[in-house]
Structures are given as C-alpha cells and as structure tokens.
Homo-oligomer: A and B are copies of this chain.
Amino acid sequence: MANPLVLKLEHGADLTNEDRALLQSLSGTARRIQAHQDIIREGERPENVHLIMEGWACRYKQLPDGKRQIMAFLVPGDFCDLHVAILGEMDHNIGTAWGCNLVAIPRRIIDELVQSHPRIARALWWSTLADEGTLREWLVNLGQRQADRRMAHLFCELLVRLQTVGCTDEDGFEFPISQIDLSDALGITSVHVSRVLKELQAQSLVTWQNGRLRILDAPKLKAFSGFNDRYLHLTRRRNGGAPSETASFG
C-alpha cells in the first residue's frame, strides 16, 4: 500500500523519486499506541517529530472546568508537532482518539532532510499552512453553522482528507471514535451529538455503525453543509513565480 505521508505531500510540492524514497524511509518503525493516551502534552518540547501512520489522534485543549475542545483530528500522513521547535513549546495536547500507529522521527533527521531537499522542505511547510487553513474552516464551522450542518461539514472534510491518503473505501471510512470525542470537536454536548446524528441518519445522509461511517450521498452532504474543499489546498495550482520561490522559505 502507498505511504500516506507521500500521498499527502504530493499535494504540497513536486516531489522527485528521491524525495519520495526519503519520505517513505522515515516511516520505518511505527509503534502502537492505545486509545485515549496522550502523545504530547502542553508545555512539552518534544525531541522527536511524531507522524501518524494509522489510526486517529487529535489536538485538544482542556480547560480548568473540565471542558475540552478538540482542535483537529490527525489522520495517517499527518504530523503532530512538526514545527514546535520554532515556537519553543507545545501550547496544546495531542492524544490518540483511538488506537494509533505512529513514528517518532528525531528532529535532526528532519532538519537534515529539509536542508538538503528543498521540495521536501516546501512540502512540509505546505502541510503546516494547510493545517492552518483547516483550522480557519473549523472556526467558521463553530462560529456560523448550527449543529447538524457542523457535523455534516466535519464528515465531508474527513472524507476528503482520508481519500487523499487512501484510507477510504467507496462509501465511507473507519471512524472508531466516540460520540463524546465528536462532541468535543464540534463544541456541542454528547447528548446533542446523539440527536443530531439521528437526524442526519433519518435524512439518509450518513450511517455510523460499528465504528464505520458511511457517506450515503456525498454531494447531498456537501450541499447540506456548504462544504467546499478549497481550504484543504489539495489541488496544486501552478505557481508562475521564480524558481526561488521553492527555496526561499525552505
């Protein structure tokens, strides 16, 4: 099976075969992490860069009163903490939402790779900037859409992202997280998740059984939620600019 990291980063830069081989070699020895474990905590300065190879993780913050907000779901091919070194320390936690295979890559390896391979450098920055775009869309989702559209929008996003890394089949994907996790991502209560979900299923938009989400009518679901995948920046548009552009920020 193709490597999710390579599949993803193809969207961020024009990789060479050498680039691909190097990226693939990063994902050598994944280790298994159980569900609901923290991978990195707020305040830490991780020495390794963590890459998801399989399963689900999430970025989250926990408030003093116990409330929790999930700020991103991390799927295969996603980095947890690529550029923390520049910020100093983590300002949020990353935990598994379900069992997860992940690779810990020494920062030094990434640094070297980036210094000698400008396309990889660019692709990695692209992935960070695309994450930021996703975050912006989540903000719109929480701020402007009501619960049913909000949930539908998230499902659309996950479908597209998982398609990109080859983790879907024709009508859906493995989605083994709990309704409680989902409620923390959507900013609603788990009781309300249960009701809204029932509603989406009643409208024949999705089904979610045995940890598997089926998208019954993707176009309808996208229309319903106002989903447009532009913010994911998956379609590389030719950059007329000087060749320096690839190198300048790498």
Contact = CB atoms under 8 A, between A and B. Distances in A.
Contacts of A61: 136-137, 140
A85 B129 CA distance: 11
B245 A136 contact: no
A69 B144 contact: yes
A217 B117 CA distance: 52
Contacts of A121: 249
A129 B63 contact: no
A144 B89 contact: no
Given A91-B233, A111-B245, A114-B249, A71 B122 contact: no
Interface stretch (A154-162, A168-176, A202-210, A236-244): A236-244
B88 A139 contact: no
Nearest to A110: B248
Interface string A90-129: 0110000000000000011011001100000110011011
A61 B233 CA distance: 16
Interface in A31-49: 45
A38 B27 CA distance: 44
A78 B174 CA distance: 41
Interface string A127-138: 011111101111
7 contacts: A12-B86, A88-B237, A108-B242, A108-B244, A114-B248, A121-B249, A144-B187
Interface of A: 12, 45, 59, 61, 63-64, 67-69, 71, 83, 85-89, 91-92, 107-108, 110-111, 114-115, 121-122, 125-126, 128-133, 135-140, 142-144, 186-187, 226, 230-231, 233, 236-237, 239, 241-242, 244-245, 247-249
